[in-house]
Amino acid sequence: MKFKLFLGTPLAFVAALLLLASPSFSQHYYFPLNRDVNNRFDPYLYQPGNGFHTSIKPYISNEVHKLVSADTTFGFGMKETKFSKTLVGRKLFNEHLFSISQDDFMLYGDLNIEFRGGRSMEDVEDKNTFINSRGITVGGTFGNNFSFTSSFVESQATFTSYIDSVVEATFVVPGGSRIKNFNDKYDYGTASGTISYSLKKHFSFQLGHDKNFIGDGYRSMLLSDNSYNYPFLKINASFWKIKYMVLYALFQDGPYLTFNDEESYRRKYGTFHYLDIDIGKKFTFGILEAVIWKHDPSRAFDINYMNPVIFLRPVEFSIGSPDNALLGFNFKYRINKSNHLYGQLMLDEFKLKEVRANDGWWGNKQAFQAGFKTFNILGINNLHAHTEFNYARPYTYQHRTSKTAYAHYNQALAHPLGANFWESVSFINYSWKRWHGELKVSLAEVGFDLVDSTGTLANYGQNVLLSYDTRPDEYGNQTLQGMATTIMNAGARAWYLLNPKSNMIVEAGIDLRRTENVINTTETMFFYFGIKTTLTNRYTDF
């Protein structure tokens, strides 16, 4: 099936709405899905009673600017000098590389780059690392209700050894696209693009090839930006104390993503419904239902899952489908204007009888998250802290086959560790004008697969791409079964925001990583320095 058929009738309907629409009340575009950007807004967006739904990301500009202006978060300028007033100085520090702006439209263009060098000191040998990325980003707004953005980056890179091992096992860069070669240097490209439209103040539509995120944490156990970009159609509806999102997505299948295999382009589809509601001024509760199903020449995109308001689980049951349906919950509690609790629960399978029996039934597939954020610690502006705990039982997110696993491009759609783990991760951040610093530490215990008595690699529930039908035991399954491995990551990072318009930064940092299990212990110390435009998150702490 061609992608145009995936869009089909629903897009025609949306297009008709757009043609008939009246302009919205304020300019509409999406902020980059990036922690550094979100951290500047969050102290304002998390205030009790403001009605902002922080669990749906990326944020939409007109919703954010009702609560905080761009000048408040990005308006800090540099001390004016003779150079900063020149054309080169303005483009370097305060303006888009290229821009055209009139009353009813704005177009811009920027370089999209990352030049980073580093030194990795490891147990076996030290190695130099680098990332060399070059590309462009273009975007614009037309009137108050239409916007678009498009970017492309071509990259060559060498990584630390533990990331090399992941790339060679999955054929993709973590969070990125498939690689072109297996030599010491990896070559890969990344493309993204979206068009967005708002229909008055209640509805917005986005068609794109990018990522989405549901949750208030650093990780998400529901839907994260851990994997590569994917085509999607998203509809947001906001009214009263409710925000509702429906997302139709096209994914690609897992372990067959190889160089020469004809099966490497197998498709699968996903439909996600997420309802987020404010209960009083302090509590927000969200519910997610998701279904993943494989592409089949006789079935293709299942029209049964196109209804944007229907309950997916009864539909999945009524048609006798072999699809992967999941149910998730998200909550946030605002203790006061500075302190906030949040959490998630994902139910992949749930039988109360088996849970009460407590005998390790493999189908007890659940994951949860609990976290805490605090802003402006001790009254110090822009000093923030954040800590969270994540947990997933064995076989969570797995399904009968990788064709219906909760994954895309060989990477989990939720947590980068997959399942069969617990993790604690904490941050402290401080910003002063354009200067920023961050300390981070994480500790995780993961149960990796083990070679069994027959000499084959047994599925103990960590790799979400495997079929749960390959499990060795029906009962007696416990979190961290298999090869229990401790992973510690710690890092310090400092950066200077060179240009708020393009989000270009100059950064330097150090990362420490230690893994330990019954077989061996590995340690890595990694220093790096570079300049980049930070438009997406990148996760290497796994």
Q: What is the pLDDT along the chain (542 residues), one digit of tens a residue?
A: 333 333 333 444 343 333 333 333 356 788 889 998 888 889 999 998 888 999 999 998 888 888 887 666 665 666 677 777 888 888 888 889 999 988 888 999 999 999 999 999 887 778 899 999 999 999 999 888 899 999 999 999 999 988 988 888 888 899 888 888 766 788 999 999 999 999 877 899 999 999 999 999 999 999 999 999 999 999 999 999 999 999 999 998 765 555 455 556 688 999 999 999 999 999 999 999 999 988 877 666 677 777 787 666 665 554 556 789 899 999 999 999 999 999 999 998 888 888 888 898 999 999 999 999 999 999 999 999 999 999 999 999 999 888 899 999 999 999 999 999 999 999 999 999 889 999 999 999 999 998 776 767 889 999 999 999 999 999 999 999 999 999 999 999 999 999 988 899 999 999 999 999 998 999 999 999 999 998 788 898 88
Cβ neighbours of 19 (radius 10 Å): 7
Place of tokens 């008595």: 453
Beta carbons within 8 Å of 517's beta carbon, 6+ residues apart: 448, 483, 484, 485, 486
H helix or E strand, kind and range, residue 153? strand 146-158
H helix or E strand, kind and range, residue 87? helix 87-93
Report the alpha-carbon distance of residue 237 to residue 232 in Å, rounded: 17
Angle at 535 between CA 529 and CA 541, to 5 degrees: 60
- Residue by residue, DSSP assigns 482-540 as SEEEEEEEEEEEEEEEEETTTTEEEEEEEEEEEEE-SS-EEEEEEEEEEEEE--S----
H helix or E strand, kind and range, residue 227? none
214, 222 contact by CB (below 8 A): yes
Report the alpha-carbon distance of residue 512 to residue 492 in Å, rounded: 9
* Of the candidates 476, 365, 462, 369, the residue with the CA atom closest to the CA atom of residue 416: 462
Which residue type does 214 have?
A: I
Measuring CA to CA, how many Å separate 81 from each of 30, 88, 89, 160? 33, 12, 9, 41
Strands 483-499 and 504-516: antiparallel
Place of tokens 């916007």: 147
**For the stretch 425-444, what's the b/e string if a residue is b when 16 or more beta carbons lie within 10 angstroms of its beta carbon?**
bbbbbbbeebebebebbbeb
Which architecture, in CATH terms, is 3-533? Beta Barrel (2.40)
Three-state SS at 261: coil
Beta carbons within 8 Å of 112's beta carbon, 6+ residues apart: 133, 134, 135, 136, 137, 151, 152, 153, 533, 535
Tokens of 471: 């499990």
158, 113 contact by CB (below 8 A): no
pLDDT of amino acid 153? 93
**For the stretch 194-204, what's the b/e string if a residue is b when 16 or more beta carbons lie within 10 angstroms of its beta carbon?**
bebbbbeeebb
Angle at 140 between CA 136 and CA 146, to 5 degrees: 140
Name residue 495's beta-bridge partners.
436, 507
Tokens of 294: 């494989």
Report the alpha-carbon distance of residue 277 to residue 241 in Å, rounded: 6
Cβ neighbours of 16 (radius 10 Å): 10
For the chain, helix, strand, coil in percent to 5 are: 15, 45, 40
Strands 56-57 and 213-214: antiparallel
* Of the candidates 103, 105, 192, 194, the residue with the CA atom closest to the CA atom of residue 141: 105
**Can you give the residue ranges of every domain in the chain?**
3-533
Tokens of 251: 């994914």
Report the alpha-carbon distance of residue 374 to residue 335 in Å, rounded: 10
Q: CA gyration radius for the chain?
A: 23
Report the alpha-carbon distance of residue 541 to residue 158 in Å, rounded: 17
State whether the Cα torsion 86-89-90-91 is positive or negative. positive
Report the alpha-carbon distance of residue 146 to residue 141 in Å, rounded: 6
pLDDT of amino acid 178? 85
Beta carbons within 8 Å of 246's beta carbon, 6+ residues apart: 234, 235, 271, 272, 273, 274, 308, 309
Report the alpha-carbon distance of residue 115 to residue 8 in Å, rounded: 41
